Each structure stands twice: as structure tokens, then as C-alpha cells.
Amino acid sequence: MREGPFFFAWCDEVQRVDAFGAALSALIKEPRYSIRAIMDRDTECNTNSVDEVVSMLRAHFGRTDAEAYFVASLSYEHFVHCILRGYTDRSERLKPMGPIHMHAREIEDFSPMHMDLALGKGPRSVQAEAVLAWHMALEDIDDVLLRLCAPDASGRVPTGGCTTARTWLAPVALCATYNADARDIARDLALSWLCLHDKERVSRIAGLPLEALRARVEAAPPGACVTLRHSSGHSSSLSRETVLQALATPPSALLEALEAAAEVPDGAWRAAEPRARELYERTLPFRGRDGQGMETGDGSPLSQVEITLEHFEFLVDHARFHVRRLPSGGVVLATHPYRTLWPLWADALSRLGLMS
């Protein structure tokens, strides 16, 4: 079974142990499961106490990296096995993985390959089923990303993201991003440009001030472009000039354009939503406390629906986007793990007249 999705968070090395401990505490809501924390061959512990893990990290982090194996709680009391890793700056220089990096052992825990639905009579709608799969995945992606990046009000982590890839990709190629300050939302675009054009590793530059990122973008040759995949068989270009104009755009206007783009899903998605709502309302009475369906089979109102290539392709091309402003002043952009955020950005930039 494939691992994933992969969550990333950036913070200064001096705050990394605190960020690691705060994230671990936020992700573990059920203390009966043991935590196994490892730093090297001779330094590890098995415990139910996050404080004990943090104490071990304080004593040894810096000369070595850290990892913790634990059980995280998702929505509907759904428990999943996860691995949380913290890397030193030295390790990041040798092999950038993301200073703080977490993933589930099985991607199915976030994007299930089947759903138990009360289909009723009449023809099935793959599109409506895909809409429900989007809702299930998005809730957990959004929740876990915030528990990793913003478990408290410290603001240690300025930015983070989520993807099905093992590497911290360009933010526009992720399925979700977090920015602690919504006024820095253009950071996603600047980091994307430097990753795609300059071949920089995002985890090495994610914490740079916005002005430093702007200077790096300006250093590219005038007229330079990178090509990004938009949907199946389609792509579009992002130019140096577009990125610089976006960086010069008031953050409030950029956020409003992103929100406007997210508020209007494409026609195929809108057409599927009424049937999806009907399926959800029909299935809800038969779901247990954990959000899972009751028994399927003969006599059951529920049928097991497998996620097929057709569902996958619909989500890749049509999954809608979610822009959430946080009470803390931050913002999360998100979609289904099978899709990227680039179509959202392309639409927003077009609305502002910045895409050529």
C-alpha cells in the first residue's frame, strides 16, 4: 500500500523541537496508543507521553534528526498510523526533505479507495460519487495541515503544504498550502517560480522573507516562463512578469481573486453536486459514529463503491477548491489530493488581468 499524503512545515531550527512537540500533541487525541520516538541507534523511547518525547529531542536534536511513530486521530474518530520527522539544518542542506515532515503509512487513510453509500434506485453517477470523495478527503487534509503547522498561537511555522509526492513541490503543484499570515499569500507563487525556474528546493527557501524572494524572481531573465499542467491534456505558462506583478498586488486583492475563483466550480462539478447531496442525505442515517458505513451486502441499504480511474480523472480535472481565512490571520488553500492548486491560481491571476 502506498504511503501518503505528505505534509510539510517550515520553521527555524531553534524552534523546531517546540514545533515538533506541539504538532505531536495536536495530532494525538487518544493517549492510549504508544509513541515510538527514534533519534539514532542508541537513542529512542516508547511512551505515551509527548513530554517525554520532547525531553529526548531537547537533549539530542541538533546532532541528529528525530522521528516519531504514532497514531493520529482524523475525523469521525478515525485513527491512522503516521510518521512525524524533524530534520536539522545540516540534514536539510545534504538532502532537503522539509524541516518538519509527516505522512500516513497508507494514503487510503486520507483518500479511501472505496465508500459505503446508499445508492438507491436508478443509474449511478461517478461524478456525484467523486464529489463525496472530495468532501471526505478535504476535511482531513485541512484539519491535519493545521494541526501540523498551527497547533497553537505561537506562529512558529510561517508556511507549509500537502501533496501526494514525497518531496515538497512548488506550492502551486501541491493540493494544499498554509500561510500563517494571509498577507504573505504571494509567497506561494514566488516559491513556485524559484522551484520551477531556478530548480530550488522549496524546503530550503520556504522561510526566506518575501522581499528576498522577490529579489530572486527579479534576477530571472525578462520574459522567462515556466509551463504548468492545468488538467488532463492542458497546460499553461507562468511568466516572471506575472509573478512580479502578483507580488506587487495588494494581498487583499489577491486573496479576493482566489476566493472568487474557488467560489465558482466548473460546470461538470456543479452538475454533479445535487446528486452528491442526495447520496449524502440518503447515506447519513446508516453511518456509524466513526463515519463508516454499517455492513454492506444482501439486505443492506449500503453498497460498497470502488474508486475507479473514472473517479480519479474527474477529480484531477474538476475537483473544486477551498480558500479558508483563519481567525489567526492565516489562510489555507486546498483541494483533493489528486488535483493541484495551479488551476485555482491561474483563474485568480486571470481575474486580476495578470495572465498573458
Residue 206 identity (one-letter amino acid): A
Domain count along the chain = 1
Quick check: is 333 in a domain? yes
Amino acid 290: pLDDT: 43
pLDDT tens-digit series, residues 157-212: 999 999 999 999 999 999 999 999 999 999 999 999 999 999 999 999 999 999 99
For residue range 331-353, list pLDDT tens digits in order: 999 999 999 999 999 999 999 99
> Per the domain annotation, does 293 fall within a domain?
no
Question: Tens-digit pLDDT profile for the chain (356 aa)?
Answer: 567 799 999 999 999 999 999 999 999 977 668 899 999 888 999 998 999 999 999 999 989 999 999 999 877 667 889 999 999 999 999 999 889 999 988 777 777 787 888 887 778 899 999 999 999 889 899 999 999 999 999 999 999 999 999 999 999 999 999 999 999 999 999 999 999 999 999 999 999 999 999 999 999 999 999 988 766 667 789 999 999 999 999 999 999 999 999 998 889 999 999 999 988 888 888 765 444 445 544 456 788 888 899 999 999 999 999 999 999 999 999 999 999 999 999 999 999 999 86
CB 5 within 8 Å of CB 104: yes
Q: What is the pLDDT of residue 186?
A: 97
DSSP 116-140: EE---SS---HHHHHHHHHHHHHHH
Nearest Cα residue to 82 out of 44, 25, 28: 28
* Residue 217 included in any domain: yes
Domain membership of residue 83 (yes or no) is: yes
**Across the strands, what pairs with 47?**
35
Give me the residue label for grid cell 528576498: 212
The predicted structure's pLDDT at residue 106? 79
Identify the pLDDT of residue 233. Answer: 64
CA dist., res. 74 & res. 80, Å (int): 7
Distance, CA of 273 to chain centre: 23
Residue 120 lies inside a defined structural domain of this protein: yes
Q: What was the pLDDT predicted at 287?
A: 64
In a domain, 55, yes or no: yes
Q: Per the structure block, which three cell numbers stand in for 3?
A: 504511503
Flag whether 181 is in a domain.
yes
Does 272 reside within a domain?
A: no
Torsions phi, psi for 238 (to 5 deg): -120, 125
Range of the domain at 107: 6-264+317-351
Among 266, 246, 244, 245, smallest CA distance to 254 is for 246
